[in-house]
Structure 1
């Protein structure tokens, strides 16, 4: 049986929820398809993560987000978006994966792990957190290598390499060190990232300068073995003892899904999808993008605070076509 919808939204994160709210206000027959838990990316964030943004900037549809501190943490965000979804009785199907999308005439057919849908419009709001940027070095497939970080306790008294100099890498390095881990950072650039949270950056710089955390700048991992890691440093190669590698080298959107449905991507390394910023509609008529997926590989350009407006832009354009 094919289930018919006016709008099908792929991705149950904050922006997908915002899109669902707009669809409900318009009275459209819609559904959100999410392959994991509600706001799955936020759920997979580190347990102690604090947002850079204030709670007001994370609000959707002017629904108040009350937090204990000006900058809310992961658990507060999970509670907020969960309450928004449940109190508004949004139509969201969780743990349902999209297998493929096909366009036939003016309709889309979406096959998932549970159903087949037919929809007039499709909104892709899938974020970028599910596919890590790999190191592409020997040994990366070893069990001790991970591309996601949850909490510091498992790394107590262990020799841990943290790869990267972004917010996630810095947070992980500091937390692991404070929980008794022996931390070494491997950083391709010459310094800690400029976009690191302003209240955290002095902390990591001081820990490196005092020698509490070892950092190799202008360096990269070239091989990982069971008990060691080889690092290419300026003018030399160094091998150090190692128990775990936490490679927080960033993530990327599901370009495979975009390509399969026919969305054009820029030919450069940015892989920017082709869409109209005034309507958020892609080169595939009836298919819209919302949220960080709009930035391609430039995942630092779009956040909840500056992409929540996408829901209203899309709804306005769809409304003009439905009426």
Structure 2
């Protein structure tokens, strides 16, 4: 039943390990709902019964089920708030040594990226603030630059010469340099030192260009761009090609309809295009002249009959 209403903050753990952050979040939400005086009354403002009921419901809804059962009889939000504070107020003394140990063991060289290091750094800073301990900007800068890898000592000295006053400025500089290093490494991995660049997909060598001027590609017409042959071959659906009666390249005395030469079929003709074009134009002119002669042709017999008449 407690999950019917969505929680606005993380619930308080049974051992109170997250009491510091939980109490801070609870105060912020209650203050936004104008219910802060229900747990911390003042002389100027006293909570009504309805406001106390709302504050009590909020607190009970955001604590673990075991704690809710322990404080089942509490009807006043002030009593419940103070009871939780008295029970877990010593978490500061328990948490502070742990946070200090994490701060001492924090090193910049243990993280691959600046983002990962900053996430851990700010988490430690937040818990220190909850325990009443505040770190200065110089502490953050010194901690970062003094924990560089020994191989990067030169870089650490370069950053120290900049004399940053705020850690955010140092963090931005580290992120910028990290981006440039990643770009250089990516370019190196793409084409290592001494290797040639990859040829373009449409690039043609000079020898291929010269060969293309004299004759077309020597590939068979069923190879190359037509991928159906390969697909059928893989599936086992390709059947053997029927060879014409005259052989694969045709009869020796049969002319090609494309270029007029003998010894091959028109569908496998490899004659250059400019020669084929000249042949087609010449052949067309010959056919045109032939039709003109036939239209005006008169036999000698018909001519004699015309004179006698």
TM bracket (short chain): under 0.3
Q: Which has the higher contact order (CA 8 A, sep 6+)?
A: 1
Larger Rg computed on CA atoms: 2
TM-score normalised by length of structure 2 = 0.24
| Structure with the larger helix share | 2
| Structure with the larger strand share | 1
